[in-house]
Structure 1
Amino acid sequence: MLVVETVAKIRRAYFVQQKPIKQICRELKVSRKVVRKVIRSEATAFQYTRAVQPAPKLGSWRGELDRMLLANASKVRRERLTLMRIYEALRGLGYEGGYDAVRRYAKGWKRERAAVAAQAFVPLSFAPGEAYQFDWSHETVLIGGTTTEIKVAHVRLCHSRMPFVRAYPRESQEMVFDAHDRAFAFFRGTCQRGIYDNMKTAVDAIFVGRERAYNRRFLQMCSHYLVEPVACTPASGWEKGQVENQVGLVRERLFTPRIRVRSYDELNALLLDGVIAYAKAHPHPEQLDRTVWQAFEAERAALVPYAGRFDGFHAVPAAVSSTCLVRFDNNRYSVTASALGRPVEVRAYAERVEIRQDGRIVGEHARGFGRNQTVFDPWHYVPVLARKPGALRNGAPFKDWVLPAALDRIRRKLAGSADGDRQMVEILTAVLRDGLSAVEAACAEALREGVHSADVVLNILARQREPTVPVTILTPESLRLRHEPVADCARYDSLRRAP
């Protein structure tokens, strides 16, 4: 095969240097036929391609090989045989040819099959309020100066093409619930059907055809919003092509160049403004006289009314440690001291963690998505301080504890006293009984009088708890005389004459 360099030398020698063909053949050691071919064709590169590859030993086995290749292609990917295994099976049936002939034939068979199956799609049309599509995408942003890979939930109304996007740290089930609720609240309604891929947070098992075993909690959410879930065929993203296109659109318009934000709240506000601005500025692909936003406003009347927030949590059991901490998702969260010694249920929401025991909430915190973080609520440990007041000074939950202004002033003043920790614990314990606002008001009253003793604060609280006796100078109705007595002085005379 002629290389490009040799072709270039022949062309320069003949057309530029005016050398005869015989001299060119002698210098470059090529035949006259080759030189004439280069000169006459004016081509700068030549490549030999065999039109027909002979396979004499494979000829009678092509039907059997076709059957084996077709059966193998119909299997799921993880169960398919390698081409070497198919060759070995063919050898077991009596084929005496080599592997290379089988490999070349299989390559051509696959190319022909792909050409036949080159996809032509039927355009879809949806009625107002008929369906929406849901999907996830992964994007990279800078949050607080740190490069972070986020998960973006995409919801798209099929009729009006109205998009909704929201960013999350993960793709877990509670994030799916939160994304649906926020999307439906934004749309002020939902559709009759929801089209999904076979994500694990929704589908537990895939059966033949369209049959699916959906996750129980996912079905509860769909029932709450009156949505019928529909799952796509595996590896068939074109069945929800609108939301697949939305992923690329949002990535190009909202995540390029790379976004820099301080928090997820700021990022989500930016994304919501971005999709609204896009919908108001771009025409609907089918209703060319309307923008996407105008088509969306017209579709709202056909949506199923928004049913309110679904209690979308992911629940797991947990144990309470001796330090009143519950471990969940590689982090620790505090609970009230009364929960010690019995199991609890952790309900994880998209943005918070709620811990319950026997139906009552024993702890509630903003959710952390790092690792090995400990989230304290100092009030959970106040009952423990009643037995161990010295822990107030060095206890981890009380580091950087921000108290109301009056309570904080009392704490600073008591810090210099010998029994200041004990007195402060008595005041804090009163919060559990009287409430934070009442104790803060009592502390403020004590400070106005120039004192900061716990006894004074507790005395003020005790007076506030006692009912106030009404002051009046009028005689109560029950003590009024109904029959005025008649004066009789003779009775006194009889008493005076008595012996």
Structure 2
Amino acid sequence: MRLSRNTVRKAVRAPDADFSYERKEQHRPRTGPFSRRLEELLEQNEDLPRRDRLRLTRIHDLLQREGFTGSYDAVRRYAARWKRERRVDAGDMSKVFIPLMFRPGEAYQFDWSHEDVEIAGKPMRVKVAHMRLCWSRAPFVRAYPRETQEMVFDAHARAFAFFGGVPRRGIYDNMKTAVTTVFTGKERVFNRRFLIMTDHYGVEPVACSPAAGWEKGQVENQVQTSRERLFKPRLRFASIEELNAWLEAECRRWAERNAHPDLDDTMIAQALETERTMLQLLPSPFDGFFESEHVASSTCLVTFDRNRYSVMASAARQTVQLRAYADRIVVRCEGSVVAEHARVFGRNQTILDPWHYLPVLARKPGALRNGAPFQGWDLPPALAQLRRKLGKGDDADRRFVRVLATNPFARRRGRRLHVDGEQLV
């Protein structure tokens, strides 16, 4: 049993003996004479700004200069005990908070969380935007594939529409999509586009102190509560759009079924109706895009977020401005829109619009057969009927391309097509 003879002897002679040992007093033969001086140094050090505070190794060095012969470990243990006793004497304030109170329509809190769901049969970690009105406690939750700035803009527009108005102040943490630089205290440099968005809605943005989640404790609590109530067990939907429709319905259900914590006999939905009259009027949605500059390739493609999107042939080899929204991509060249696509969030996908390549096809009609944009082309009924009547072969391809070149947007305008005097519907 790996016991010493002395331990066995003691147990045999005194079965009821207590073998535990607890030191009553720590003897400090070397630290004792310098304890007063050490406490002075520790108190002075606590009053200094964090950047100017001395390390314990430096304090040990200063004591040695005054004749101290003890080890650094003795100083470290003494300092730890001194801090512990000081904390007990002053009371531990690190977990004591001041209750916050908000007026109707005054403020909202915003935060992100990451949740695991299943979309179209595949596991996916979505970024969930949370917003909460501080007075009525009304929640809003929406999922996104990214946590980028255009998603922040979209979340605000949808949340304000859900609440039916805009509070006067927004409380955030120091997320990079909103805050560019964090200074001491509450001073911040906000992102320019983020400030344009808050000015559009008439909101004053306020950033919390770093690592001070209690300053937006309501939305922090909402993150934890929604994870248990909404995202467990794991949600399964065919698309993110279906997931968000369900989440919005659950937010309404949550407000209708839960009582307000501070208002007696009042549900959150009733408090929201009251607060809605105190909110600022809802303006038109903010044009929330993230813009970047690209050069379209010779194949009329622009690469963004690891995917490729086609643009009109006139923009090939030109500098274009791409505006990324939460759900779509808009490409502009010299002030004109040269492409608009639904946004995709996978990798290495190519989104082609055959109509973008029509000017090139008019010069190279042979590409109609093997050109990537024209594979599986879902033509309008009139054009599909014309394609079948013309038949197959190079001559048929040239005639069909000639029709497309003369009526490039027939499918959008609903025009009737005429080929060689024959009217086709």
Pair in the same fold by TM > 0.5:
yes
Q: In the alignment, does 2:187 pair up with 1:211?
A: yes
Query: What's 1:102 paired with?
Result: 75
1:325–1:334 CA contact under 8 A, matched in 2: yes
More off after superposition, 341-350 vs 402-411: 402-411
Superposed displacement of residue 110, structure 1: 4.8
Distance 1:401 1:330, change over 3 A: same
Structure 1: state its 5+ residue gaps: 7-24, 39-45, 447-453, 462-499
Say which of 322, 342, 347 aligns to 1:346: 322
2:126–2:144 CA contact under 8 A, matched in 1: yes
1:407–1:440 CA contact under 8 A, matched in 2: no
Say which of 376, 380, 385 aligns to 2:361: 385
More off after superposition, 261-270 vs 62-71: 62-71
Distance 1:129 1:439, change over 3 A: closer
Q: In the alignment, does 2:234 pair up with 1:254?
A: no
Say which of 109, 113, 133 aligns to 2:109: 133
Distance of 1:423 and 1:34 partners within structure 2: 112
More off after superposition, 396-405 vs 409-418: 409-418
Mapping of 1:239-250 within 5 angstroms? 239-250=215-226
2:197–2:288 CA contact under 8 A, matched in 1: yes
* 1:16-42 Cα deviation digits (max 9, x unpaired): xxxxxxxxx99943356752335xxxx
Q: Which amino acid aligns with 1:319?
A: V
* 1:389-448 Cα deviation digits (max 9, x unpaired): 11111111111111112211222343424411111111221233x632557632xxx6xx
Superposed displacement of residue 50, structure 1: 3.0
Q: In the alignment, does 2:420 pair up with 1:455?
A: yes
Q: In the alignment, does 2:410 pair up with 1:435?
A: yes
Query: What's 1:234 paired with?
Result: 210
Distance 1:113 1:219, change over 3 A: farther
Q: Which amino acid aligns with 1:37?
A: A
**Cα-Cα RMSD:** 2.7
Q: Which amino acid aligns with 1:162?
A: A
SS at match of 2:286: coil
* 1:164-194 Cα deviation digits (max 9, x unpaired): 0100111111000000000001111011111
Superposed displacement of residue 262, structure 1: 1.0
* 1:445-475 Cα deviation digits (max 9, x unpaired): x6xxxxxxx4346xx59xxxxxxxxxxxxxx
Say which of 323, 326, 330 aligns to 2:306: 330
Q: Which amino acid aligns with 1:455?
A: D
Query: What's 1:14 paired with?
Result: none
Structure 2: state its 5+ residue gaps: none
* Bigger relative CO (Cα 8 Å, ≥ 6 apart): 2
More off after superposition, 323-332 vs 236-245: 323-332
Query: What's 2:57 paired with?
Result: 87
Query: What's 1:423 paired with?
Result: 399
* 1:131-150 Cα deviation digits (max 9, x unpaired): 11001111111111111111
Distance of 1:438 and 1:119 partners within structure 2: 66
2:119–2:237 CA contact under 8 A, matched in 1: yes
Say which of 54, 57, 63 aligns to 2:30: 57
2:60–2:72 CA contact under 8 A, matched in 1: no
1:69–1:106 CA contact under 8 A, matched in 2: no
Q: Which has the higher helix share?
A: 1
Structure whose alpha-carbon radius of gyration is higher: 1
Distance of 2:191 and 2:86 partners within structure 1: 37
Query: What's 1:36 paired with?
Result: 16
SS at match of 1:393: helix
Report how many residues are paired.
Answer: 415
Distance of 2:134 and 2:318 partners within structure 1: 49
* 1:1-59 Cα deviation digits (max 9, x unpaired): xx9x99xxxxxxxxxxxxxxxxxx99943356752335xxxxxxx65443443333334
1:131–1:191 CA contact under 8 A, matched in 2: yes
1:65–1:90 CA contact under 8 A, matched in 2: no
Distance of 1:415 and 1:213 partners within structure 2: 65
Q: Which amino acid aligns with 1:30?
A: K
Distance 1:389 1:73, change over 3 A: same
Q: Give the TM-score normalised by structure 2.
A: 0.90
Q: Which amino acid aligns with 1:394?
A: N
Distance 1:331 1:27, change over 3 A: closer
Query: What's 1:320 paired with?
Result: 296
Q: Give the TM-score normalised by structure 1.
A: 0.77
